[in-house]
Structure 1
Amino acid sequence: MKSSSRALLAVLLLAGFPVLMLAVAGALIWLEIAAFQRSPVSAGRLAFFVVPVLYVLFSALLTFERTCDDAEGVPVTPAEQPELWAAVRELAKEVGTRPPDEICLVPQANAAVHEETHWAGLRVRRQMFIGAQLFAGTRVCQLRAVLGHELAHYSNRHTRFAGATYRGRQTIGRVVDGLHRSAWLLRPVFSAYAALYFRVSMRVSREQELAADLDSARVAGTTAATTALREAEVLDTAWWLFLNDYATIAWSSGYLPERMAEGYQLLLADGKRAKEFASLRENPPSRPASKYDSHPPTSERIALLEAAPDVPVPPGGERPATDLLRNGMALLDAVLATGFTESAASKKKLDWASLVAIGVRDSNQAEALRILRSRSIDDLLDLLDAGHLEDIADPTAPPEARTRAKRELYRDQVHCRLSIVLHAQLAEAGAAHWELSWSGPAKLVLAEPYATELDPAVGAAVDGDTAALRALLAPTHS
């Protein structure tokens, strides 16, 4: 079947989806009326099932995509960000579709164009969502490639009805997902219909993805399009690393970073991390895709772009993407902040160095308290003098491990756990702190003589001689 025929069939199936929903709703109403005529009591019992299902059906029938008003993120108007809007309108014109009615910057490492829909497909308003991470981590040409690709999904330039087909996949997927959560008894009927639609539209959608890639290269340059595909994995991986290891490192202590977007950029630019990210660009991980996923493998998409005639990057494309924003870094900070829970508003803001120092210090202190279990450091040293390593070792270690090389196992555990406790005490005494490193975990910095003498003293203590460690710690005792 030709792509245009498949697209037409997909449009017909899309039009039939609300008809199916109305038919099911009508059948349920008829069933309720029939039950009422036979027995009002039975009808009342049946209504406990029918009424909620009807509510879900009609809600789904009138479902619409999220708007800038209810999405995480910050909507931006043409008056606020004229350069960004001008670029988006230019891209829409070049790919052959209308520009969005709204642009919303969101705390995600991707971009999308959605349409506010009613009656499972009737277009009302078009919104473009652009991830703050894209601005922070790409160049203008790469951002143009990403946005051009998303806008091209709504163009019928390559296949007639392609835009409607793409819109249908979004709408049906969203409706069925809502039904799965709220009306599981209807799942078989609508899942089967959705599967049929996805199967029919699969070829059209995959061809449209490749065509959208070619459009992105045409409007932004071949190099920009290919590097944008490679960069997507890097930005997402870097973001989760940044979020878990840096941005929220002092969350439980009540702090967040002052300049979040700047920190994300510093992580991306770090020399050691850059090597890791370069490897990720060249060898993106392959993940199992759904059988209904319309995206071809990234390697296939890149190969298609590289085989096509080369399109140069337009002048000015090598500028950082933040150049398209006014007061860009402050705006990106505001956008990224919307990705946190409401409790983030109560957090105090710190510079990056202070944030990491406090976050690691408090985390180390909490771990030290778990190790001590109401004991003092002197208590631990007394246990070491008595040779009771097992009373300091990890109590959660597998019992079978203790029967094999038990003494060596205990030595390693006790050395590590005792060091944690000592670092906490030294930090409290002002003789230790942690320094921010974008290349890896925060670095512990010890004052002298602890920097040179602590580790040997701990080793001796684990072996049963605590004299050197006791002498070293004497100045820290209050």
Structure 2
Amino acid sequence: MGASPRALRALVLLAGFYLLAFIVVGLFVTVDVVAWTRAPGLAAVKVTVFSALLGFPVLRGVFAFGRTDGDEKAGSPVTEAEQPELWRTVRSLAERSGTRPPDEILLTGDVNAAVSEDARLLGLLPGRRRLHIGMPLLIGLTEQQLRSVIAHELAHYGNADTRLAGITLRGRDSVLRTVAAFQEQEQKRIGKERSKQQRAADKAVRKGKKAKEINTRGAGISYRMMAKPFQAYARCYLRATQSVGRQQELAADRVAARVAGRDATASALREIAVLDAAHDHYMDRYATSGVQAGLLPPRGEVCGGLRHLLADPHRRTALAELRGELPSAEVSPYDSHPPVAERVRMIEALPDDAAATDPARPALTLLRDVERVLVELEGAVLTPEALALERVDWPELTHRAMYALTEEAAEPLRTALAEAGVATGSAAGDLSALLDAADAERLWLIAGHLPKSPEAARATGRAAREFLRPALAAGVTRLTELALVEKGGAYWELSWSATSRLRLPGASAPDPEDIAEAVTVAVRAAVADVPDTAPLRTLATH
């Protein structure tokens, strides 16, 4: 579908939303006029107020058209003077793609690349263009793979996709904003009704009466019913516009394959799917692992530390296995992109372009002064609160972050010890006091102070013990780890290939896996029905 038919289609869809909105508002006005001419004054006022409340979400969606919510992704701009090779590559790809190059390039922290354009007159006139390139792509792709990604994005310029987004996206936002406004009002009504019924129930209980069950099924029904036609139109709008979006993606893939090579384009799609999973794991388990303890890795490493994960031999082996397994996502009419597997199959079915196979240079070589760029990127994408956190090197971050998590996990047991009157204040002392209590057959009295589910609270005898045993064992394990750190100088060791493990100091210290197994066995013996505390006491003396 060419640019003109797509523009007409977007305009028709947008006009349909306005037509629906004006019909609804017109009905409200008609009802108000009839009420003021035929009903008593008080009834007319009530009808007018009611119609105004229902009509507000519609008007909100209509007059919000054209507004932006500032959802442009944060990024660090790079000038041509700073990064000439990257700009030279982008300009060359734009020329080969038959389109005007971007006016600005921004690096972002996402595993993604995107283009945007500040088009005017709903996309009829071109505007300032921006190309967004995710730093993880520069870190994880080869230069040729990155060229195919950029060529794909530039193809959206050539197809006028970015300019038509001025109509399509803003129209979609108006429809969805209207639906969201109705839902917001509905939730407010439900909340008020719930509070009202809760107050009545509390009052009944105070009087010794049985409280009625809270039921809010009828609350907000007017807003719920009013939202239905707009929800139906939103589904129609999304199905129509997203289907065009999927066609645009396939067209851009073909341009990328022509400009950067078939094999590079197919392999880039495979690699991005793997890179996305690796980046999520890195951000969750490494980059942000110390936030709870007020820590971040060294400057530039929040975005740049992904390099360590991708370079680890064990991780490389695991990621290589993922490359052969394309994501098998379910196809939905509301998806803006075709499934990756479908895109790869389409590209690999293209004729062999016999593209030159240059040495696979890392895409990161396109940047000068990479460390400075990584630091500047963090300044652009991290919040002021995150930027203010303490920076420490990776080994210290790993240990302090794991220590904070272990302290938090051990807190319920240490609170139970305090409530039982046997806490000492130190982890080693608390562990010793717990083991003494176990030898004195008081372990389950202490365990009784642990947090319980309603079902566990009702249980008695052996059943109560079985409910409490997992939480008790987990707490003792964490307390043992803290004691080993406090008394034995143990520390959590950084590993890019596996989860952090507790290690004892010294060249002859046991392997971390052996320590973990020994702790598990000793804790299991200590919390048995007939506790044996000797293994745990021996372990705690290291």
Return closer, same or farther for 1:19/1:410 CA change in 2, 3 Å cut-off.
closer
Pick from 210, 215, 236 the counterpart of residue 255 of structure 2. 215
DSSP-derived class of the 2:259 partner: helix
Q: Could you tell me which residue of structure 1 aligns to residue 89 of structure 2?
A: 87
Aligned pairs (5 A) from 1:408-447: 416-429=474-487, 431-447=489-505
Return closer, same or farther for 1:276/1:409 CA change in 2, 3 Å cut-off.
farther
Pick from 67, 73, 76 the counterpart of residue 74 of structure 1. 76
Deviation at 1:84, TM superposition (A): 2.0
**Aligned residue identity for 2:142:** R
Q: Could you tell me which residue of structure 2 aligns to residue 101 of structure 1?
A: 103
DSSP-derived class of the 2:305 partner: helix
Q: Could you tell me which residue of structure 1 aligns to residue 440 of structure 2?
A: 386
Q: Could you tell me which residue of structure 1 aligns to residue 7 of structure 2?
A: 11
Q: Give the whole-Å Cα distance in 2 for the aligned partners of 1:237 and 1:49.
A: 44
| Alignment pair present for 1:310 and 2:349 | no
Q: Give the whole-Å Cα distance in 1 for the aligned partners of 2:309 and 2:446.
A: 37
Q: Give the whole-Å Cα distance in 1 for the aligned partners of 2:460 and 2:325.
A: 41
**Aligned residue identity for 1:54:** L
Q: Could you tell me which residue of structure 2 aligns to residue 287 of structure 1?
A: 329
Q: Give the whole-Å Cα distance in 1 for the aligned partners of 2:99 and 2:461.
A: 71
Question: Is the 1:66–1:116 contact (alpha carbons within 8 Å) kept by the matching residues of 2?
Answer: no
Q: Give the whole-Å Cα distance in 2 for the aligned partners of 1:82 and 1:403.
A: 74
**Aligned residue identity for 1:358:** R
Deviation at 1:130, TM superposition (A): 1.5
Question: Is the 2:410–2:479 contact (alpha carbons within 8 Å) kept by the matching residues of 1?
Answer: yes
Question: What is the percent sequence identity of the aligned residues?
Answer: 36
DSSP-derived class of the 1:292 partner: coil
Q: Could you tell me which residue of structure 1 aligns to residue 402 of structure 2?
A: 360
| Alignment pair present for 1:148 and 2:151 | yes
Q: Could you tell me which residue of structure 1 aligns to residue 212 of structure 2?
A: none
**Aligned residue identity for 2:437:** L
Return closer, same or farther for 1:357/1:136 CA change in 2, 3 Å cut-off.
same
Question: Is the 2:329–2:339 contact (alpha carbons within 8 Å) kept by the matching residues of 1?
Answer: no
Q: Could you tell me which residue of structure 2 aligns to residue 63 of structure 1?
A: 67
- The TM-score normalised by the length of structure 2 is 0.72
Aligned pairs (5 A) from 1:184-333: 188=228, 192-193=232-233, 195-200=235-240, 204-258=244-298, 259-312=301-354, 318-333=360-375
Cα distance per residue 1:23-59 (max 9 Å; x no partner): 5676688789886997896767766665675354222
Question: Is the 2:176–2:234 contact (alpha carbons within 8 Å) kept by the matching residues of 1?
Answer: no
Q: Give the whole-Å Cα distance in 1 for the aligned partners of 2:5 and 2:237.
A: 9
Cα distance per residue 1:177-231 (max 9 Å; x no partner): 3333346568555555554455455665434322221211222222211111111
- Between 21-30 and 319-328, report the one with greater CA deviation: 21-30
**Aligned residue identity for 1:93:** E
Question: Is the 1:105–1:131 contact (alpha carbons within 8 Å) kept by the matching residues of 2?
Answer: yes
Question: CA RMSD for the aligned pairs?
Answer: 4.0
Q: Give the whole-Å Cα distance in 2 for the aligned partners of 1:413 and 1:26.
A: 60
Return closer, same or farther for 1:401/1:301 CA change in 2, 3 Å cut-off.
farther
Return closer, same or farther for 1:249/1:407 CA change in 2, 3 Å cut-off.
same
**Aligned residue identity for 2:63:** F
Question: Is the 2:17–2:175 contact (alpha carbons within 8 Å) kept by the matching residues of 1?
Answer: no
Q: Give the whole-Å Cα distance in 1 for the aligned partners of 2:70 and 2:535.
A: 65
Q: Could you tell me which residue of structure 2 aligns to residue 172 of structure 1?
A: 171
Q: Could you tell me which residue of structure 2 aligns to residue 125 of structure 1?
A: 128
Return closer, same or farther for 1:211/1:65 CA change in 2, 3 Å cut-off.
farther
Pick from 130, 134, 137 the counterpart of residue 134 of structure 1. 137
Return closer, same or farther for 1:268/1:336 CA change in 2, 3 Å cut-off.
farther
Cα distance per residue 1:56-77 (max 9 Å; x no partner): 42222x235857xx53222223
**Aligned residue identity for 1:218:** R
- Between 248-257 and 313-322, report the one with greater CA deviation: 313-322
Q: Could you tell me which residue of structure 1 aligns to residue 195 of structure 2?
A: none
Q: Give the whole-Å Cα distance in 1 for the aligned partners of 2:466 and 2:24.
A: 71
| Alignment pair present for 1:112 and 2:114 | yes
Return closer, same or farther for 1:197/1:97 CA change in 2, 3 Å cut-off.
farther
Deviation at 1:434, TM superposition (A): 0.8
- Between 227-236 and 278-287, report the one with greater CA deviation: 278-287
Deviation at 1:343, TM superposition (A): 1.6
Question: Is the 2:406–2:482 contact (alpha carbons within 8 Å) kept by the matching residues of 1?
Answer: yes
Q: Give the whole-Å Cα distance in 1 for the aligned partners of 2:24 and 2:465.
A: 71
Pick from 345, 365, 370 the counterpart of residue 412 of structure 2. 370
Deviation at 1:330, TM superposition (A): 3.0
Question: Is the 2:58–2:178 contact (alpha carbons within 8 Å) kept by the matching residues of 1?
Answer: no
Deviation at 1:392, TM superposition (A): 6.1
Question: Is the 1:263–1:352 contact (alpha carbons within 8 Å) kept by the matching residues of 2?
Answer: no
Q: Give the whole-Å Cα distance in 1 for the aligned partners of 2:130 and 2:329.
A: 29
**Aligned residue identity for 1:383:** A
DSSP-derived class of the 1:444 partner: strand
Alignment gaps of 5+ in structure 1: none
**Aligned residue identity for 1:356:** T
Deviation at 1:472, TM superposition (A): 6.4
Higher relative contact order, chain-length normalized (CA < 8 Å, sep 6+): 1
Question: Is the 1:220–1:314 contact (alpha carbons within 8 Å) kept by the matching residues of 2?
Answer: no
Return closer, same or farther for 1:57/1:183 CA change in 2, 3 Å cut-off.
farther
Alignment gaps of 5+ in structure 2: 184-222, 424-429
Deviation at 1:414, TM superposition (A): 5.2
Deviation at 1:369, TM superposition (A): 2.7
